[in-house]
Amino acid sequence: MSNLYRSALQARISKLPQLPSDASEEEDVDEEDEAKSSIGALPGRMGPPAACASTAKAKSPNPAFAPISASSYFASANQVAVPSRQLDFRVYYTPPASKSSKSATEDEHGESGTVLVCHHGAGFSGLSFACFAKEVQSLSRGALGVLALDARRHGKTVPIDNASDEDLSVGVLAVDLVSLLQTVFPDSKKAPAVLLVGHSMGGSVVVQACPEIMAAGYSVLGVAVLDVVEGTALEALPFMNSILNARPDGFDSVEEAIEWHVKSHSIRNPTSARVSVPSIIVPSSEETGKKYVWRTPLRSTGAYWENWFTGLSSRFLATRTARLLILAGTDRLDKELMIGQMQGKFQLEVVGGGVGHVVHEDDPMRIAEIIVEFWRRNERVVLPGVKGKVIKRVGEV
């Protein structure tokens, strides 16, 4: 492998699994206020937040990187117990406005509307979509709801009764997602239509889960995958450990963690970083010399990296719904995606403009514009191979 090719891969790798950002109000994070919020009629109970980390050299917190509460980005936050998965999921939710949209979806489902179901990447949390969610609400005038979850071993999702939550294989994560949706919206016929959005690892999860969600009777209007291509991801994996070696083991304060993300360009939107980063670190419970450590150390997920991305392209192209791939830059598509694009099997958007791997945090307005337009264009879907038959509910001709 040439040095030039290696450098190019390392540049792309730096955009692979990292952490979240997106927000716009300058309030101090108030975990008690957030914990008091609930998701209306959603089932569930509040559960304990994950633990945090500690540091040795105390550095004065920089107020310019003070945390911002997520309370103004979602209507509510709650813990939703899913006994079948032995998990208590953290869910952030803003429902679609009951009468704000006159879409095909609403004609079909009364006032149910459409909800974007957002799955974050490795090491991130549902708050990675906070700023994006606010932009979606504004652009759709409330017609689109947003549900963002914390996956197992991430954010504030915790095991029930000390069950193990170690397995992060894509199949397990996909079943988690399906089970959560069935808990939140138990009646698939009365449930809102969903548009699945997944970032990096989460992109693979939503693609894997999509057929099962449809088989359970839910209407899926589309799948949007954010900044992950199977070929590029797999080529980058051999270099991941060296990339992770450059990351700090912990931080002296939450402000220091936010500042590191912004200054290292892991998250290029300071507001988003101030909302999302606090959820991905925890107080240290060991003598690590740091007050805060990573909630989900990426190195600990290494056994699953290949599993997340292998077969992603073929599964994405086989998904029987509208497909959208959003990339941060001009990463080359692998052979399957290149052929699929030439055949018009999916919509491709390259954002550019200085965004990094966490595209929805770096430029939440632009990503919201793309996805809201994708939703509007695909409210009425034509299934591949079903000529002239327009459907409102995927799977029903």
Q: Is the pTM of this model over 0.85?
A: no
Structure tokens that stand for 107 in this block: 């004609």
pLDDT digits (tens, 9 = 90+) for 292-316: 999 999 999 999 999 999 999 999 9
| C-alpha span between 351 and 359 (Å, rounded) | 8
Catalytic residue among 357, 360, 362, 363: 357
Query: Do 157 and 151 form a contact (C-beta atoms < 8 A)?
Result: yes
Identify the CATH number of the domain in which residue 44 sits: 3.40.50.1820
Torsion on CA atoms 213, 118, 235, 332, rounded to nearest 10: 100
Q: Residue 18 falls within a domain, yes or no?
A: yes
Q: Residue 397 falls within a domain, yes or no?
A: no
| C-alpha span between 336 and 316 (Å, rounded) | 10
Residue 101, classed as helix, strand or coil, is coil
Q: Residue 268 falls within a domain, yes or no?
A: yes
Catalytic residue among 54, 179, 200, 279: 200
Determine whether 22 is an active site residue. Answer: no
pLDDT digits (tens, 9 = 90+) for 231-265: 999 999 999 999 899 899 999 999 999 999 999 99
Q: CA-based diameter of the chain, in Å? A: 67
pLDDT at residue 57 tops 80: no
Determine whether 284 is an active site residue. Answer: no
Q: 387 pLDDT band (50/70/90 cuts)?
A: very low
Q: Residue 194 falls within a domain, yes or no?
A: yes
Q: Which residues contact 102 (CB under 8 A, 6 or more apart)?
A: none
Q: Residue 396 falls within a domain, yes or no?
A: no
Q: Residue 222 falls within a domain, yes or no?
A: yes
Tally the domains of the chain: 1
Determine whether 54 is an active site residue. Answer: no
pLDDT of residue 380: 60
What is the CA angle 42-43-49, rounded to 5?
95
Q: Which of 273, 85, 62 is nearest to 176 (CA)?
A: 85
Query: Do 86 and 160 form a contact (C-beta atoms < 8 A)?
Result: yes
pLDDT digits (tens, 9 = 90+) for 176-205: 999 999 999 999 999 999 999 999 999 999
Catalytic residue among 22, 88, 176, 227: 227
Q: Residue 160 falls within a domain, yes or no?
A: yes
Which structural domain, as residue segments, surrounds residue 91? 3-391
Q: Residue 51 falls within a domain, yes or no?
A: yes
